[in-house]
Amino acid sequence: MSVGPGGAVFSRAAELRSRGVAQNNAGHPAQAIRLFRRALAMLDRSGDAASHQREVLSARIAISMAMSESELNGLERGLASLRGVEDYVERTGDLSVAVHLHCQLGYMRVRGGHFSAGLAELNLAETMLAHTQPAEACNILINRGMVHVFLSDLPRARTDYLRAVREAQRHGLPVEEKKARHNLGELEFFAGNLALALQLMDEAAALDAEVSAAVALVDRAKVLIEAGLYREADEALVRAGELFRRDRLWKDVGEVELARAECALLDGEAQAARRLAASARDRFRRRGNDRWRRDAELVLLQADLAAGRPGSRLTPPALRLAAEFSHDGLSIRARTAQLIAAEALLSAGRLDEARALATTVGPVRPADPISARLHTRLVRAKALLAAGGRSDAKREIRTGLRELARHQSRFGSIDLQTASAVHGRQLAELDVALGVAGGKPADVLASVERGRAISSRLQAVAAPQDRVTAELLSELRQLTEELRTIESDPTAIKRVSGDRRRATEIQQLLRSRAWRSEGPGQAVKPATLTQTVDALSSDGSAFVAFVQANGGLNALVLGEQQPRMVALAPAVRVNELVRRLRADLDVLAHAQLPAALAVAVSGAMRRSLISLDEMLLGPLRLTNRRLIISPTGPLATVPWGLLPSLRGCPVVVAPSATAWLTASSASSDVQRSISPVALFAGPDLEFVSDELKGIESVWDQVTAFSGAGATQQELQRAMTTSRVVHIAAHGQHQTENPLFSSIRLSGGPVFAYEFDRSASAAEHVILSACELGQATIRPGDEALGWTSVLLHLGTRSVVSGVAGVHDGVAAQVMVRYHQLLAAGTDSAQALALAVSESDGPPAPFVCFGATWRL
C-alpha cells in the first residue's frame, strides 16, 4: 500500500473526512461518524505510524468526529474524544491543528450551554485565523457570532457574521455563506426586527448549498412564534422534529419539543405544553445539558401555572431558576422566572410577596422580545391590583398595549399584524375586565379601543410586486380551478391529494413572501368617548360595543342620552346560537332544497334570530333607528339586519369606534372618474345576468365585465379607478388560511392575498357572493378575510354576505340596493331597505366599515 505525502491513502482519508464534515453540516451526525471512522481505520492500516502528515490528518478527523460524538452521545463524550488531540497540540505546538481544535471546542461548549467557556475557546481560535483554511475561519466567526447573540451582544455578533459572509464570498464557500446569512436573520430576530429576520432567512434558504434544513426550520419557527403565528410555527417544528429523529439528534429533538411547548401555551393547550416541556427537560437532563434543561423547566413552570397547579409548589423552583439564570447573565430568562414566581405567589394568596417580587424584576427594555415585555406588564398589573394599586396597574396595562400597537405597526403584512396580537391577549382581557368592573362608560370604551382590532388603526403598505409571486399566484389559480372540477371524481383521488398538497405549499410560500414587508411604524390613536359621541351626534346613530369579560357579554351604548353599560347573556350561549344560525343560513342558500327540509330549517333559523335579538338587543331598549355595532368574537359575523328588531334599520358593523371614525372621515376621491361604477360577474350563477342588467339600468356611468372580460387584472384596475365596485360571483372563505379566501372570476379565483399587497381600493365595494363577509377571528378581535382586507386598504364601506346566499335572492336584493344607492340613499339605509323588502330565502348581507353615499 502506497503511503507518501501524495499517496492515495491520505487522499482517500481526506476525502472521507470532507464527506463527513458535509454530513455534519447537513445535520446527519450518524452518517458523518461512520465516514470519520472509516477514514481513521484507513490511516491506522497505512503502517506509517510516525508520519507527521498522518498525525495531522488523524487529529483533524478526530476533531470533526468529536462534533458528531457530542451531538449523538452528549458533550462529555465529545470532549473525551478530543483528549488525544489536545495532547498532540501540547506536544507539537501545531497551530494549524490548534485553531481547528479551539474552534470545535468552542462550538461544542456553546451547544452544551456553556457560553462563557465556548466564547473563550473561540476568541483563542480567532487569534490563529492565519493558520487555518478559509472555511474554518468562516466557521470560527460564525460560531463566535452565535455566542455573542446568546449573550445579547448583537453589534459584535453582526460584525462576526458580516466578516464570515465576506470571507465566504471571497473564497467561493457557499455552505459557509449560507450559514452566516441565515444567522444574520436570526440576529435580526433577537433585535426584534421580525419582518427583516424572515426576509434574511428566506434569502439564505434560496442559496444553493446543503446545510441542515431542520435547523433552519427551528430558527424560522422561533421568529413565527414571536410574530404570533404559533400554529404555522408548530407545523415547521413537527417537520424539523422528524428530521432530527431520523438523524438521532436527540438534543435537537428536545429543542423542538421545547419550542412546540411554547406554541401549545399560546394556543391555550396547557396540558400539551406540560407534556412537551417535561419530555424536553428529561432529554436535556440525560445529556447533562443544564443550560437547556433550565429552559425546559422554565416553560414547564409556565405550563403548570396555566394548568392551575398550586402556586405554593411552583414558587421555590421558579426562584431557583431565576437565581441560576441571573448567575449566567441571562437577564430575560431570569426575569421570566421571577414573574412566574410572582404569579404563583398571587395564586397562593401571598399578595405582599408577589407585589414586592413583580415590581422589582428590573426595567422593561425596548429591545426585549414583545412577549417578555407584555408578560412583565401583565404580572406587574396583577400584583398591583391585588395590593390595591389600581391606578398603577392601569398604567402598566396602558403602556403594554401601546407597546403592542407599536410592535404590530412594524409589520406590513396584515397577516402578521393580526397574528401578533396574541401576545397581548391576556393584557387586553384584563384591561376590559377592569373597565367593565368599574362600570364607567369612558373607561370601558378606552379599554376596548386600546386592545381591539389594533390592525385597523394601521396604515396599509403596498408590497413590491415581483415575478416569483406572480408565478406562484398563477399556479395556485390553476390548481384551485382544477381541484374544483375533479375533487368529487372518485377516480382522481391521488391527483386531488397531490394538488391539495401543492396548493397548501404555494399558499405558505406566498404568505412567507408577504411577511417580509415592513410596516408604517405607528398606529392611529384610539378614539375617545368625547370624539365618538360627537361623531354619533352628527351622524344620528347609536353605537353599541359588545364586550366579553369574565365569561359574560356586556354592551356599551353611546349616542342615546347618557352613555351606559348593560349586562347581557353568558358568551357561550350566544356563541352557540351564532354557530347554529350560520349553519341554518348556509343550508337555506342551496337551490332545490326539499320543501320539508326548508320549512324545518327556516323554523330553526327564526328561533335563533329571535333568541339572539332577545339576548343582545332586548335589554338595551334602543330608541335610535341607526346603529353602529362593534362586535366581539363570533358576533362579527351575525347578520344583524335579519334580527326582528332591526328589520329595516340601518346597521353598520365596524371593528372598533376608531375604525368607524377613520372610515367615516375619509374624503371621497372624485378623481376616480374613469368609470364611477364597475360591475363584475363570475361564472355559474343562474341569475347573474339579471343582476348585472338591473344594476346597469340604474347608473348613468357604469362599466360591466363578464365572461372572459371579468379578470383579476381588470378587477385590480377597477379598484383604483372606480368609486364603486360590485362583484357578483361565487365566494369562499377559508377559515384556516383566510388570506386565500377567494372570488371566482372567469380566469380563476382571485384571492384576498392579492389585494393585501396593494395600498388602495374603491370607496365602496359590494361582494354579492357567499361567505365573503366572514372572517377568521384572531386574538384581540383581529378579523382576517376578504372584507377586513378591503377595509384595511381604505375602502370606506363594504357590503358582503356573512353566510351562504341564494343566487336569486342576491340578485333581487342587489338590484334594489343599487336603485336606492343611486337615488342618494346611504349604503346602510339602502341595504336595510333592500333586505327587508326581499322575499324568499334570507339575505344575510351586512354593511361593514361606515356608511357611503354617492
Output the pLDDT for position 50: 53
| Closest to 739 in 3D by CA, of 514, 441, 533, 505 | 514
The dihedral formed by the CA atoms of 629, 633, 634 and 637, expressed in degrees to the nearest 10? 40
Asked which of 257-271, 311-325, 479-493, 530-544 is least confident by mean pLDDT, the reply is 479-493
Residue range 87-93: mean pLDDT, rounded = 88
**What are 799's strand-pairing partners?**
766, 847
The span from the CA of 434 to the CA of 393, in Å, is 10
Cell matching residue 538: 352628527
What are the angstrom distances between the C-alpha of 488 and each of 484, 496, 564? 8, 9, 53
Confidence band for 163, pLDDT divided at 50, 70 and 90 = very high
Residue 449 reports pLDDT greater than 90: yes
Asked which of 41-55, 372-386, 716-730, 768-782 is least confident by mean pLDDT, the reply is 41-55
Contact 384, 377 (CB under 8 A): no
For residue 822, count other CB atoms closer than 10 A to its CB.
18
Residue 853 reports pLDDT greater than 50: yes
Per-residue pLDDT reduced to its tens digit, 411-437:
888 888 888 889 999 999 999 999 999
* H-run or E-run covering 798: strand 797-801
Per-residue pLDDT reduced to its tens digit, 584-626:
999 998 878 888 998 999 999 999 999 999 999 999 999 877 9
Residue range 32-36: mean pLDDT, rounded = 90
The span from the CA of 707 to the CA of 362, in Å, is 65
* H-run or E-run covering 783: strand 782-784
Output the pLDDT for position 75: 85
Per-residue pLDDT reduced to its tens digit, 662-686:
998 876 655 555 569 999 999 988 8
Per-residue pLDDT reduced to its tens digit, 534-586:
999 988 899 999 999 999 999 999 998 889 999 999 999 999 999 999 999 99
**What are 523's strand-pairing partners?**
458
Phi, psi of 777 (to 5 degrees): -95, 115
Cell matching residue 218: 427551528
In the chain, what is the greatest distance between 2 CA atoms, to the nearest angstrom?
A: 103
DSSP string, 417-464: HHHGGGGGHHHHHHHHHHHHHHT-HHHHHHHHHHHS-GGGGB---PPP
Q: Please give the single-letter amino acid code of residue 501.
A: R
| Closest to 716 in 3D by CA, of 760, 764, 775 | 760
Output the pLDDT for position 4: 47
The burial class, CB within 10 Å (0-12 / 13-18 / 19+), for 266 is buried
The span from the CA of 676 to the CA of 660, in Å, is 24
Residues 6+ apart with CB under 8 A from 527: 445, 449, 656, 657, 658, 661
Per-residue pLDDT reduced to its tens digit, 165-175:
999 999 999 99
User: 172 — alpha (psi -120 to 50), left (phi > 0) or beta?
Assistant: left
Q: Which residue has the cell 362599466?
A: 703
Q: How far apart are the first and last CA of the chain?
A: 94
Percent of the chain past pLDDT 70, that is, above it, reads 97
Q: Which residue has the cell 372610515?
A: 663
| Closest to 220 in 3D by CA, of 206, 200, 242 | 200
Q: Which residue has the cell 361564472?
A: 683
Helix (H, G, I), strand (E, B) or coil at 304: helix
Residue 3 reports pLDDT greater than 60: no
**What are 681's strand-pairing partners?**
728
Per-residue pLDDT reduced to its tens digit, 742-751:
999 988 899 8
Contact 52, 272 (CB under 8 A): no
* H-run or E-run covering 170: helix 154-171
Output the pLDDT for position 464: 65
Per-residue pLDDT reduced to its tens digit, 175-189:
999 999 999 999 999
The span from the CA of 618 to the CA of 640, in Å, is 13
370-386 helix and 390-409 helix, angle to the nearest 10 degrees: 170
610-620 b/e (C-beta count within 10 Å ≥ 16 → b): ebbbebbbeeb
Contact 254, 111 (CB under 8 A): no
Output the pLDDT for position 1: 36
Q: How many residues does the chain have?
A: 854
Query: What's the gap between Cα 684 and its chain centre?
Result: 35
Percent of the chain past pLDDT 90, that is, above it, reads 55
For residue 522, count other CB atoms closer than 10 A to its CB.
13
Output the pLDDT for position 673: 53
When comparing pLDDT for 123 and 665, which is higher?
A: 123
Query: Hey, which bits of 494-610 come out as E strands?
Result: 542-549, 552-558, 564-570
Output the pLDDT for position 463: 67
| Closest to 265 in 3D by CA, of 188, 336, 356, 189 | 336
Per-residue pLDDT reduced to its tens digit, 283-302:
999 888 888 899 999 999 99
Output the pLDDT for position 733: 86
Opening angle at CA 329, ends 324 and 333, nearest 5: 65
Strand 627-630 vs strand 542-549: parallel, antiparallel, or unpaired?
A: parallel
What is the spatial order of strands in the sheet that 748-751 belongs to? 731-732, 742-745, 748-751
Contact 33, 63 (CB under 8 A): no
Contact 68, 82 (CB under 8 A): no
What secondary structure letter does DSSP report for 497?
A: H
Residues 6+ apart with CB under 8 A from 456: 655, 656, 658, 659, 662, 791, 792
When comparing pLDDT for 84 and 671, which is higher?
A: 84
